[in-house]
Structure 1
Amino acid sequence: MTGTSRDIRTANRYRVLRQIIASSPVSRQELATVTGLSLATVATLVGELLELGLLTDVGFEDSDGGRPRGLVAVAPSRGALIGVDIAETYVHVEIFDLTLTVLAQAAVVLKPGAKRPEHVVAHVAAGIASVVEQSGTEPGQVLGAGISMPGQVDRATGSVVYAANWGWHEVPLLSLLAEHISYPLHLDNPLHACTVAELWFGAARGSSDAVVVNLGTGVGAGIAIGGTLHRGATNSAGEWGHTTLVLDGRLCHCGNRGCVEAYAGAPGIMQQLRDISPASPLLHPDDQTATILALASALEGGDPVAAQVIRETARYLGAAVADLIQLLNPEVIVLSSWVAAALGTPLLDGVRTAVAARTPARPFAAAEIVLSPISSDPVSLGAATFALEGALAAARQNTRRAVRR
């Protein structure tokens, strides 16, 4: 019971800080209204965050005659957070201040033959060192780094349990990184990172039930229920990309056939292009990024082959999104990641049309389908929030140790 109480307190502290980051400056009264916590609880939690140096008092709000309310805001220079987006084709690293404003970034393209753990670890370590140096951040100011890795990950052990597109099984990623990086490290996957980013700063902000569809090399769906990220029993919730869309369909990297990912991920879109026009100049056989960008450019120019590829992709994706709406009845579905950003409105319009044809009117009307409005890398942004969450949990533990002494 004591452990549960402490966990709830840590979660509430994180909840209050999240709201302050999203709405700074803000009064304690407004925080109580938005979070649903009592004013006394909010005042205590804000006091703890002030003592930790994460917040600062910034004066009082305008008053119409009543007692003026004190305002608090995040102290941006009191720490830094790192977010790492490990994707199938690149490693992207960003460092943020405590308002989650980007201070510096670094990126490297992953070549097809450079996906062994030691290669990825070297790129991540170099990227983190680069952004810390670029931003002029003192190493002691870094509160932690959140690492996003595609596939099934074990947050408790810091291991990649299974990554289908990489051929990784039980890779102790955080232990390998810790040999080169001294900051606290926190592991999760891009589905969860994107969902948190959208809940904090994107299209899902203020929504209770939301789904963030991640369209890249892989495909997945981050799920928020009651405004909170849903992880599932083994942190595997959201592997919707490996649900069956077409019985005995295309072979997927996971070994099954007919998965959503095999039709809506970047390699699946490339296959659609091959099926429609095998000799198309838009096809770059060894470069999925170049192929998707070529399709996007050709689409703007009215190319009929590109238009047909996007129509077919949207038809498959829309059928799979319709299943999500039937199953979860969300308020918003956000199309995120680099493929969605590249193909943009034509893909979105096609998905909406396909969903409308396969979904009952009531849940369809309630579900807004949109592109992610986040202009930066949502995965790095979301990963940084995992580092923030870990830093708050560690601060709570340090406080308890100090009290015992």
Structure 2
Amino acid sequence: MKRTSRDIRTANRYAVLRHLIAKSPASRGELAEATGLSQATVATLVGELTALGLLVEVGFEESAGGRPRSLVAVDAAGGALVGVDVAETYVHAELFDLALGVVARAEEELRPGESAPEDVVGRIAAAVGAVVAAARRPPRVLGVGVTMPGQVDRERGVAVRAANWGWRDVPLTALLGERLPYPVHLDNPLRAATVAELWFGAARGRDDAVVINLGTGVGAGLALGGTLHRGVTNSAGEWGHTTLVLDGRPCRCGDTGCVEAYVGAPAIMRTLRELAPDSPLLTDEDQTATIGALGRAAAGGDPVALRVVRETARHLGAAVADLVNLLNPEVIVLSSWVAAALGAPLLTEVREAVERHALGSPFAATEIVLSPIPTDPVSLGAATFALEGVLSSPGLTGTTLTPHTT
């Protein structure tokens, strides 16, 4: 795709802000070195971002000789971003300052039967409203990033296909625009979690990384050659719907034997029922309660819980080994709420299973870790998409930003 001058300007602004969010303050010379841009270009960009209220001058760098270099930093209080993680059972929203520090959190439950677009839009709007209201003073909200499971057309703001809800071509951004007074930017949670790990997590400083999302659904976000890999239709990473077992368990996508049918939260609950139908760890159809109880029991050495974790890791490890052999990444990150709940017992078993199935050389070069990000990685990544949207706005001239407050 041919890049316009506006695309290049947006990418440059984004690069400068990304570096400053990771490491503030910095001189213009340090920014030029870190981004590969010329000092003249960096000086222009810093001037624009300062005029927009996104950056602030914070003094001078000590110098052994010569002219002291002025330092700039992100003006954390200069605005706010909202990141929204929409999953099949919940809507989780977080309010961030411009340095991407968490200001407030809010969550709305999505109950069975509440998956119609109007229901989900209502829950998103309620979560965003709650998180903005939780701020100590009305924030200058610059944008809202929303992630939706399934196939997403980020340019048109359309949820193209969410198989588990039966959605087809839902104009989600337009529907949210009727309920929210902020610009909305739509994307997929796999991409969001990957960006969060690239900026703040285990993939920081790595060129080739895979971020595995383990939740109700399963997928793999990809960063290849230092760049987020989206694929032709923004659908890259649907690894959860690759075939793991021929003629295996039915998957919610309509196929059989998919990775998700063995390692997603409903699949783990099925494994628990098969191994111990009367287990007290089972809580009806409550995924969060069951997986949480399973994780605590496994950490405490419960034999049934450990059998379930081991069986889950056996399948997950085989599927992860395919990623190791195919992509030869530097790091694979196990992310999202199921990975966090099952924690170290799952990680240990997965590493052993991957070693059994992967080729020796790529396995030796791949680190497999749990996500170290203390907040919701998807909400954090969604906030970066909102930031990107702010910087690419046609109305962003370098002198004004329209504030949004409630």
State the TM-score bracket (shorter-chain normalisation): over 0.9
Structure with greater helix share of residues = 1
Gaps of 5+ in 1: none
The answer as to 2:1 corresponding to 1:27 is no
Matches within 5 A, 1:20-59: 20-59=20-59
TM-score by length of 1: 0.95
Q: Which has the higher contact order (CA 8 A, sep 6+)?
A: 2
The separation in 2 between residues aligned to 1:54 and 1:360, in whole angstroms, is 47
**Comparing 30-39 and 126-135, the one that deviates more:** 30-39
Q: Give the Cα separation in 2 of the matches to 1:398 and 1:59.
A: 26
Q: Distance in 2 between matches of 1:261 and 1:3?
A: 36
Deviation of 1:300 after TM superposition, in Å, equals: 2.1
What are the Cα deviations for residues 119-166 of structure 1, in whole angstroms up to 9, with x where unaligned?
111111111111112114536x21110001111011122111111222
CA contact (8 A) 1:211 1:224 kept: yes
Residue correspondence of structure 1 range 65-104 to structure 2 within 5 A: 65-104=65-104
Could you say what secondary structure the match of 1:369 adopts? strand
Match of 2:271 in 1: 272
Q: Distance in 2 between matches of 1:37 and 1:215?
A: 37
Confirm or deny: 8 A CA contact 2:20 2:73 kept in the other structure: yes
Q: Aligned partners of 1:250 and 1:284: how far apart in 2?
A: 22
The answer to whether the 8 A contact 2:106-2:131 is kept is yes
In 2: Cα distance, 1:367 partner to 1:396 partner: 44
Native 8 Å contact 2:347 2:370 kept in 1: yes
1:6-25 maps to which residues of 2 (within 5 A)? 6-25=6-25
User: Which of 2-11 and 102-111 deviates more?
Assistant: 2-11
What is the match of residue 355 of structure 1? 354
- The alignment of Structure 1 onto Structure 2 pairs a total of residues equal to 401
Aligned partner of 1:100: which letter? L
Q: Hey, what's the Cα distance between the residues in 1 that align with 2:360 and 2:31?
A: 36
Q: Which deviates the most, 36-45 or 284-293?
A: 36-45
**Deviation of residue 324 (structure 1)?**
0.8
| Identity %, equivalent residues | 68
Shift of 1:103: 1.2
Which residue pairs with 2:254 in the alignment? 255
Alignment-derived partner of residue 210 in structure 2: 211
Asked whether the equivalents of residues 219 and 261 of structure 1 are also in contact (C-alpha less than 8 Å), the reply is: yes
Give 1:376's aligned residue: 375
Q: Distance in 2 between matches of 1:38 and 1:366?
A: 34
CA distance in 2, matches of 1:386, 1:311: 36
Q: Which moved more, 1:124-133 or 1:207-216?
A: 124-133
Closer/same/farther in 2, CA of residues 26 and 268 from structure 1, 3 Å limit = same
**Structure 2 residue 120 is the aligned partner of structure 1 residue 124:** no
**Runs of 5+ unmatched residues, structure 2:** 402-406
Q: Distance in 1 between matches of 2:215 and 2:3?
A: 39
**In the aligned structure 2, how far is the partner of 1:36 from the partner of 1:46?**
15
Once residues 9 and 127 of structure 1 are traced to their aligned partners in structure 2, the CA distance between those partners, rounded to angstroms, is 33
Find the counterpart in structure 2 of residue 305 from structure 1: 304
Moved more, 17-26 or 272-281: 272-281
User: Would you say the 8 A contact 2:90–2:107 is kept in 1?
Assistant: yes
Q: What SS does structure 1 have at the residue aligned with 2:145?
A: strand
Aligned to 1:190: 189
Write the deviation string for residues 260-284 of structure 1: whole angstroms up to 9, x where unpaired.
Answer: 1111110111111122112212122
Give the stretch that moved more between structures: 315-324 or 360-369. 360-369
Q: Hey, what does 2:339 align to over in structure 1?
A: 340
CA contact (8 A) 2:51 2:399 kept: no
Give 1:3 shift: 5.6
CA displacement 1:176-234 (0-9 Å, x = unmatched): 11111121000001101101111111111111111100000000000011222111100
Q: Which amino acid aligns with 2:76?
A: P
Q: Do the aligned partners of 1:334 and 1:370 also contact (CA within 8 Å) in 2?
A: yes
Paired residue type of 2:125: A
Shift of 1:2: 9.3
Instruction: Give the C-alpha shift of residue 49 in structure 1.
Output: 1.2
RMSD: 1.9
Q: 1:27 to 1:272 in 2, by over 3 A?
A: same
Amino acid at match of 1:63: S
SS state of the match for residue 357, structure 1?
helix
Give, in whole Å, the separation in 2 of the partners of 1:382 and 1:272: 31
Equivalent residue, structure 1, for 2:404: none
Deviation at 1:327, TM superposition (A): 1.2
Residue pair 1:80, 1:137 contacting (<8 A) in 2 also = no
